[in-house]
Structure 1
Amino acid sequence: MSTTPPIAGQVVVVTGAARGVGALLARRLAQRGAEVALVGLEPEELKAVAAQCGPTATSWEADVTDLEALTAVARQIQDRHGRIDTVVANAGIAIGGPLLDSDPRAFDRVIEVNLLGSVATARAFLPALVESGGYLLQIASLAAITPAPLMAAYCASKAGVEAFAHSLRAEVAYQGVKVGVGYLSWTDTDMVRGADQDTVLAQMRARLPWPANKTYPLAPAVERLVAGIGRRSPHVYAQAWLRGIQPVRWVLPSLVATVGARDIARLAPQLRATAASRLRAVGAGGAADTANRRAPAE
């Protein structure tokens, strides 16, 4: 008898579910019979996605960096749905550009949301996952496998969540909880489109070696994540080639340092001239996070 529960009938929580990967993942899971609970900062967008996920879907407004609020939401979701079987820690933002040109608050916020927000998500939802013998899927990135210049905050945060999830896996295994890491390359989301609006960053990305320089369609990537959730896999690759670079990831930092240094030197004048345009997180999700942080003072 299999110990892996089918997706149908599961209660699945998805953070960062207002758009992009989180929104489509929620819809695909609901199509396979899951009850989904969507968590994020944009209540109207979350309600709209929940409406597409069937009558059992719910939406909950919470900042993943607010542990107290997130813990309260976790209890409310468990009370409403009866249990929680799977949690997908997907919420994330990004900022690009050289470290010395960046707004320190915006830079730190990327690490706060992506890494500390994932830690808070685990703290808030693990008690319910221990009860159900559930599964936590941490969304990481190609940025966890290889560093990239102009993406220091994002790479640091995603490398951090990968390490965090691997460490947590051993801690909670005896309690019946499985932990997975999901890896995505550049995928056609609001975040990536927002980054590509920066012409200098777009030039830099275009010079990456194939297949890392491509933007991949969202739907196949999400289907791979759904399949990984169904298997409760320790590693889920939204693009198949990402699995292939795992054995050689040790060589990538040296390669990136050599090639990237030349490109940064060439682009330095353009980067300096356009520094003021990249002081905030990219895309509509980044804008929502910025607005959420400003709201209490307004």
Structure 2
Amino acid sequence: MNTTPTHTSTLTGKVALITGASSGIGEAIALTLSQAGALVAVGARRTERLAGLTERMPGETLVLHLDVTDAESVRAAVDATVERFGRLDVLVNNAGVMLSGPVAGADPAEWKTMIDTNLLGTMYATHAALPHLLQSKGTIVQTSSTSGRVASAAGAVYSASKFGVNAFSEGLRQEVTAEGVRVVVIEPGFVATELASHTTNADMRALAQQLHESMRALQPDDIARAVLYAVSQPEHVSVNELLIRPTDQVR
């Protein structure tokens, strides 16, 4: 008899908090985990989008206004999740921004935005959630990037933020794995989302469009299925890193 759990019940009773859930990968992860039976708290600055998202989620949900660059906002979101559902089993640090462009002539304020969101935001959420995840022997999912492995021209600071996520995650993993907490780093390649549209540099936006047209890009659901795979493994199995590129992507 096949005793492998189906996706519809894999995470029944588990509680997940997802940052950056208002679009793209975060939205897809929220839907997928809810469909797998999880109780899901979705956080973002654009809460009007979250209302539409939760209408499509089959399980119980909680909408949170969450700015990951504000440590107090993050802590309040974690506290609200635990107050509502009584526990926390999965944290998905997905909030991120990509403001690509050459270093020469760049606006350093954009560098700060990327570091504050991509790196410090991940750290703030992890720090706030960790006491609860230690109790539940839960899982932390960090959305990194292929840019966290290979830096490229016009992406130096974005890569620095994602290299930082990878380094932070590995150090954290070594601290908490003996306590039963799993740390998963997801490194997507080119995904068809609105991420590149945040870029203020017109040349970079045009390049992103060219890349999109030149390949069969990943879809947010592709990444969400990978996250579900990682968080639904038996407790003794820790999938620490998943690098996912479009087949057509060379670098």
Task: With the length of structure 2 as denominator, give the TM-score of the two structures.
Answer: 0.85
User: Could you list the per-position Cα deviations for residues 75-106 of structure 1 after superposition, in whole angstroms to 9, with x for gaps in the alignment?
Assistant: 11101001000000000001011112221111
- Closer/same/farther in 2, CA of residues 200 and 93 from structure 1, 3 Å limit: closer
- Segments of 5+ residues of structure 1 without an aligned counterpart are 246-251, 253-298
Partner of 2:240: 234
Q: Aligned residue for 1:148?
A: 152
**Which residue matches 2:221?**
219
Aligned to 1:70: 74
Deviations 1:183-228 (A, max 9, x none): 1001011113555994455448858xxx9x6522232232122212
| Other structure's SS at 1:179 match | strand
The equivalent residue for 1:11 is: 15
Tell me: CA distance 1:52–1:43, structure 2 relative to 1, closer, same or farther (3 Å).
same
Which piece of structure 1 moves more, 218-227 or 36-45? 218-227
Q: Is the contact between residue 140 and residue 181 of structure 1 (CA under 8 Å) also seen in structure 2? A: yes
Tell me the distance in 1 between the aligned counterparts of 2:192 and 2:121. 23
Residue pair 2:190, 2:245 contacting (<8 A) in 1 also:
no
Over 3 Å counting, the alpha-carbon distance change for 1:103 and 1:194 in structure 2 is closer
What is the rounded CA distance, in whole Å, between the counterparts of 2:200 and 2:229 in structure 1?
A: 29
Q: Identify the residue that residue 126 of structure 1 maps to in structure 2.
A: 130
- Asked if 2 retains the 8 angstrom alpha-carbon contact of 1:37 and 1:59, the reply is yes
Deviation at 1:56, TM superposition (A): 1.1
C-alpha spacing 1:188/1:60, structure 2 compared with 1 (3 Å): same
The one-letter amino acid of 2:172's match is L
Cα shift readout 1:141-185 (whole Å, capped 9, x = no counterpart): 000110011111211101100110011001112222111100100
Residue identity matched to 1:233: V
Q: Aligned partners of 2:154, 2:90: CA distance in 1, in Å?
A: 34
Contact 1:144–1:155 (8 Å) recurs in 2: yes
Structure label with greater radius of gyration: 1
Q: Percent identity?
A: 28
**TM-aligned CA distance change 1:7 to 1:111, over 3 Å:** same
In the alignment, what sits opposite 1:284?
none
Whole-angstrom CA distance in 2 between matches of 1:205 and 1:56: 37
Equivalent position SS for 1:36: strand
4+ residue stretches of structure 1 with deviation over 3 A? 192-207, 237-242
Once residues 197 and 217 of structure 2 are traced to their aligned partners in structure 1, the CA distance between those partners, rounded to angstroms, is 9
Question: How many Å separate the matches in 2 of 1:204 and 1:215?
Answer: 11
Q: Is the 8 A contact 1:108 1:153 kept in 2?
A: no
**What's the CA shift for 1:10?**
1.1
The count of aligned residue pairs is: 238
TM-score by length of 1: 0.73
Greater helix fraction, Structure 1 or Structure 2: 1
Deviation at 1:54, TM superposition (A): 3.1
The CA distance in 1 between the partners of 2:160 and 2:222, in whole Å, is: 26
Which sections of structure 2, spanning at least 5 residues, go unmatched? Answer: none
Query: Does structure 2 conserve the Cα–Cα contact (< 8 Å) formed by 1:94 and 1:153?
Result: no
Change (3 A) 1:163 1:221: same
Following TM superposition, by how much is the alpha carbon of 1:130 offset from its aligned partner in structure 2, in angstroms? Answer: 0.7
2:57 matches 1:43 = no
Change (3 A) 1:123 1:105: same
**1:218-250: CA deviations, max 9, x gaps?**
3223212221222252112344869xx9xxxxx
The answer for the alignment partner of 1:100 in structure 2 is: 104
CA distance in 1, matches of 2:194, 2:51: 18
